[in-house]
Structure 1
């Protein structure tokens, strides 16, 4: 296929941005076209913070941390500037769990620690330890403990069984 033909075959929206409409499994891994995947999270949804937390928790409990990451990412991109570090950190925690569940111990531990650092930095800067009811101290403990276990064990974790409780 020529490069022009390859470009035409790519999955793009009307403005030329990549869409990546391939079906995905519960951990966000792409499946072959035509395979039955799990429903995708719509992108760019603006939610109230309480809705973000509730929807992300439902997805985490269902063993779908990749999809919870997308919910947090929407909040990160659409929320107030002073909250972006918090939402980005929460998104990193969810994607860290995703990598740990996929068996990527190094990447999972790294993202869990990076997300914990962002959340902790936001908490310190803002002086707020329970934004929108989120138990930041418990979440930080969960992330660091899981990172250490993932690094030492190297085996994939069960995403639903290891899902954090965002609110205590």
Structure 2
């Protein structure tokens, strides 16, 4: 085996206890990797099973703190561990959080696309199930927020503040 192939398999990659590849580099609030040894934000643990109410509360806290990448991971846990009939809801919410992440990183095209995709998924799930306010979330307002923000990031063409633009999952800010 050549040295290159060996490096790919045994090149000091970060791995978890089960041997799966993991990136142990610290990350900033938008999930971007930082150099080893840099101060980063605490990462969201993966695979946590929460109640839907806990999921919404944890994601809201992260969104308000300007950490939509981390909120996406919370929604992703719900998507992967929740009941089959709710997976499209949680996947759509994860897309909204990733869209906000991309928009805050300055990827306005990708951010707008994901915001609209997440808005559409939330609307579709609501119309299919007849549930407009699952777990107290205002899906119509959330979809409207996402579409409006998508238009803003496309029009302005620059990074936005994730914290200033964070949605309220359970209704408008007062």
Taking structure 1 as the reference length, the TM-score comes to: 0.97
- For the pair 1:91 / 2:94, whether they are aligned, the reply is yes
Cross-structure match for 1:101: 104
Structure 1 residue runs of 4+, over 2 Å off?
Answer: 13-16
Query: Corresponding residue for 1:5?
Result: 7
Write the distance in 2 (CA, Å) between the matches of 1:150 and 1:35. 30
1:40 alignment counterpart: 43
Report how many residues are paired.
168
Deviation at 1:19, TM superposition (A): 1.0
Q: Distance in 1 between matches of 2:71 and 2:7?
A: 35
Q: Could you tell me which residue of structure 2 aligns to residue 132 of structure 1?
A: 135
Alpha-carbon distance between aligned partners in 1 of 2:149 and 2:24, rounded to the nearest angstrom: 31
- After superposition, the CA RMSD in angstroms is 0.9
Aligned pair 1:113/2:116, yes or no?
yes
In structure 2, stretches of 5+ residues that fail to align are none
Distance in 2 (alpha carbons) for counterparts of 1:3 and 1:15: 21
State the partner residue of 1:152.
Answer: 155
Distance of 2:52 and 2:111 partners within structure 1: 26
Query: What's the offset of the Cα at 1:123?
Result: 0.3
SS of 2:44's equivalent in the other structure is coil
Which consecutive unaligned segments of at least 5 residues does structure 1 have? none
User: How many Å separate the matches in 1 of 2:61 and 2:19?
Assistant: 33
